[in-house]
Amino acid sequence: LAKTTQPISMDSYEGQEVNITCSHNNIATNDYITWYQQFPSQGPRFIIQGYKTKVTNEVASLFIPADRKSSTLSLPRVSLSDTAVYYCLVGPGANNLFFGTGTRLTVIP
Amino acid sequence: EPEVTQTPSHQVTQMGQEVILRCVPISNHLYFYWYRQILGQKVEFLVSFYNNEISEKSEIFDDQFSVERPDGSNFTLKIRSTKLEDSAMYFCASRSRGLDSPLHFGNGTRLTVT
């Protein structure tokens, strides 16, 4: 399974765009990249998933360069309610099971 | 939007007692999972379950743990003889058939072993 590395924490002001990068140097050909968000005392919540290039949904964008050795989750114009831990998971879709330590994002008023 | 539901939200038990944590996955999902999260730590994979059998389990999931899908809707995690270090949030998750289908998590059961 591909090991992932993310910053432990990030701070951002409200209204700013936040980019969280995840490194996964040994990603395999059939691996997907999936991001989850977790609020305190709640289960992780799926945000976005991609395989290559760019994916966008109503919540976030995911940028994946051609070599796929990293990915960047982009949150546009964050609000206080986006304060959470963000996890990057890499693995074959069916077995994308293992969470790393995640990035704790704190949005400051 | 359909969701995974877990009961109870909080369970307190004495060391050595058996506990059963219950989950109702999303109705058309086929793959089921248990995770745990010790306070302040990361989310840890315990076990995955498909077609009425365990498909993968972690080192944490030892002989004290078992899972069961007793009927068409419930998915349970049993801890046979609880230890203090079993105190954690336990999350159930499910997903549908597609290879790229994400996990859907419940809001967890907080287990406190005294």
Nearest to B45 among A38, A49, A97 (CB): A97
Asked if residues B45 and A98 have their Cβ atoms less than 8 Å apart, the reply is yes
- Nearest CA to B90 out of B59, B54, B46, B51 is that of B46
Q: Is the pLDDT of residue A80 over 90?
A: yes
Number of domains in chain B: 1
Q: Do A43 and B93 touch (CB under 8 A)?
A: yes
Kindly report, residue by residue over B16-52, the tens digit of the pLDDT: 999 999 999 999 899 999 999 999 899 999 999 999 9
The answer to whether A66 contacts chain B (CB < 8 Å) is: no
Q: What is the CATH number of the domain that holds B64?
A: 2.60.40.10
Confidence of residue A96 (pLDDT cuts 50, 70, 90): low
Cβ within 8 Å of residue B1, ≥6 positions away: none
Q: What is the pLDDT of residue B19?
A: 98
Q: Is the pLDDT of residue A37 over 70?
A: yes
Q: Do A93 and B98 touch (CB under 8 A)?
A: yes
Contacts of B42 in chain A (CB under 8 A): 99-102
Q: What is the pLDDT of residue B24?
A: 97
Q: Is the pLDDT of residue A2 over 80?
A: no
Contacts of A38 in chain B (CB under 8 A): 43
Secondary structure letter of residue B103 according to DSSP: P
Which position has the token pair 């995840």? A22
Query: The domain containing residue B14 runs over which residues?
Result: 5-97+104-113
Task: Write down all domains in chain A, each with its CATH number in brackets.
Answer: 9-108 (2.60.40.10)
